[in-house]
Amino acid sequence: MVNKIQVKSILNKHKKRDDWFLDDYSLSPYQACPFNCIYCYIRGSKYGENMAKTFSVKINAPELLEKELSKKAKKNQHGIIFIAGVTDPYPREELELKMTRRLLEIILKYKFPVHVQTKSVFVERDFDLLRKIDEEAILPEDLKELKRGVIISFSFSSLDENLRKIFEPGAFSVKERLETMEKCAQNGFLTGAAFIPVLPYISDTDEKLEGMIKTVKNYGPKFILVGTLTLFGKGPVDCKTLCYKVLEKHLPELIPKYRSLFRNFFAPPKEYQERLKEKSKSLCEKYGIKYGIL
């Protein structure tokens, strides 16, 4: 059973536009997430302790978004809205609840552009709304070159289905995501693959990374994003603790490598991140696909 909650606000305005996703705003129709990805950064918070039990729909979200976008539109403050910042916008429950769809209808009304990121197949249901947003959205002046009001990206940590079952137990299969990504591309949307996060020593090796980029190229994305794993906290339900437990069970030989890589920090060293970036850019160039959206 999905919990129903009321929230005080729904639209988050960023101090600075996100360099990767190009969003000035973000929103989440839901709280917590039934996809239960082990590495999710909201674990350990009051929302992520038990994401299956705390999964909730924000029932007053449409009313709040109507008020907030009305004000922004009157002030000509159009910018890309990232859906969703902390939960997937298309869990299985969305088919019945239709909360994401209701919010997209309001976004269309006020002509805001969107970036939808998902691990789901249900984005296909909303192609009608997204097509209208794509055509009618008002872009900020410095993003006019996009010439599009909709960006759709599909998130992967690897393309190995066995690993998906371990690290993303509630998410849709890799094959389903790839096929839905292809449908988005075939329907003319600006579509991409977001390998965020890649998993150190698992899906970030030269061989695995090249295989992933080579494979997704066949499904029509216009861009690829690659980002590193972040692991937070020391508590029993924090993502760092849970990730190490999963590694201990399935890939115990990697525990020393992870401890050495992360040490007491939430992210790998800058040197690792730079190597990953340069490696990814080189592979994207090799396979003729854009690294990054712009």
Domain CATH for 24: 3.20.20.70
Q: Which two tokens stand for residue 76?
A: 């000509």
Task: Give how far the C-alpha of residue 277 lies from the chain's centroid of Cα atoms, to the nearest Å.
Answer: 18
SS3 of 55-94: CEEECCHHHHHHHHHHHHHHCCCCCCEEECCCCCCCCCCH
Domains contained in the chain, number = 1
| pLDDT the model gives residue 47 | 52
Q: What is the pLDDT of residues 6-27, one digit of tens each?
A: 999 999 999 999 999 999 999 9
The contacts of residue 84 (CB under 8 Å, 6+ apart) are 26, 27, 28, 29, 30, 100, 117
Taking alpha carbons only, the member of 155, 79, 84 closest to residue 116 is 84
| pLDDT the model gives residue 86 | 82
**In this structure, how many other beta carbons lie within 10 angstroms of the beta carbon of residue 98?**
16
Q: Which two tokens stand for residue 161?
A: 């289905």
pLDDT band for 233, please (50, 70, 90 cuts): confident
Q: What is the mean pLDDT of residues 239-248?
A: 93
Helices marked H in 75-205: 94-97, 99-109, 127-136, 161-167, 174-186
Residue 134 belongs to domain spanning: 3-291
| pLDDT the model gives residue 85 | 74
